[in-house]
Amino acid sequence: MTQILQPRLYLVVLAGGQGTRARSGDSNAPKQFREVAGEMLFLHGLRELALAPGVVRVVLVVPDAWRPTAEAAAAAAGLPVPVDLAPAGRHRTASTWHGIESLAALPESVRPEATDMVAVHDAARPFATRHLLNRLARAASRHGAAIPGVPVPDTVIQLATGQDTDLDEIPVAAYLDRGLLVAVQTPQVVRWRDLQDAHAWAAAEERSFTDDGGLVAERGLAPVVVMGERANWKITSEDDWQRAVALLRSASVL
């Protein structure tokens, strides 16, 4: 039986969003920097994913205004791997590029090599597990890129026009076969050289993508889909935040 070697894995955590939809009336902090169960939200997911096999380093991408706060929180967390910080960009793709540039600027002895893996994760998904990341890294080591996806429970339609107007009396273009659809999550794992090359192209062309799987697919590397985790949902609204608070507080007392 051929042994599958554990790939070396770098983790880029995107915490650069403004998080305005998940702010309560008395909070000025973006959701990733709000405190719950004794620490900032971004640390809950980061602490878990840093324990995945093969993780050697983390880059945390944050807005400049929150860098001192995030740096202090990460330093105090006692994480098992080094954490570097990078500045947030104008959009998600630019933020990821800044994280990649931070990795590329590391000393040669710890810098990623061409076949190492990089996982990109949204700080607003605090419930992804190390087991999911491990499965993604192994799949990406075989195929170059891997993304997590979960089945879509609802009927999905394609609209005849864009959603730039209110969703009201818009014609239906097609009913889509939900058996062929999945909802995509993070973390998403891509081989270092492919991710770096794709983001360098996007930066030069001033292109923006909703995720890294879509970017590398645009450049010819179609990611494989690994079964995601239903619990790995994204905090978007204030209701999401309250639900996350209840779950994290409950977990902290177990």
Q: What does R_g of the chain's alpha carbons equal in angstroms?
A: 18
Query: Is residue 176 situated within a structural domain?
Result: no
User: Which amino acid, 98?
Assistant: H
User: Residue 118: enclosing H or E segment and its boundaries?
Assistant: strand 117-122
- Position 134 scores a pLDDT of 97
Query: Is residue 106 situated within a structural domain?
Result: yes
Sign of the CA dihedral running 135, 139, 141, 142? positive
Query: Is residue 75 situated within a structural domain?
Result: yes
- Position 21 scores a pLDDT of 53
Q: What CATH code is carried by the domain that includes residue 233?
A: 3.90.550.10
- Position 168 scores a pLDDT of 73
Is pTM beyond 0.75? Reply is yes
Containing structural domain, residue 98 = 9-150+182-252
- For residue range 226-253, list pLDDT tens digits in order: 999 999 999 999 999 999 999 999 887 6
Stretches where the chain sits below pLDDT 50 are 1-2, 25-26
Query: Is residue 215 situated within a structural domain?
Result: yes
Query: Is residue 245 situated within a structural domain?
Result: yes
- Position 169 scores a pLDDT of 79
Query: Is residue 16 situated within a structural domain?
Result: yes
- Position 17 scores a pLDDT of 78
Cβ–Cβ under 8 Å, residues 219 and 213? no
For the chain, helix, strand, coil in percent to 5 are 35, 20, 40
Query: Is residue 242 situated within a structural domain?
Result: yes
What residues have CB less than 8 Å from 127, skipping those under 6 apart?
Answer: 45, 229, 231, 232, 233, 244, 247
Task: Indicate the number of domains in the chain.
Answer: 1
H helix and E strand count, the chain: 7, 12
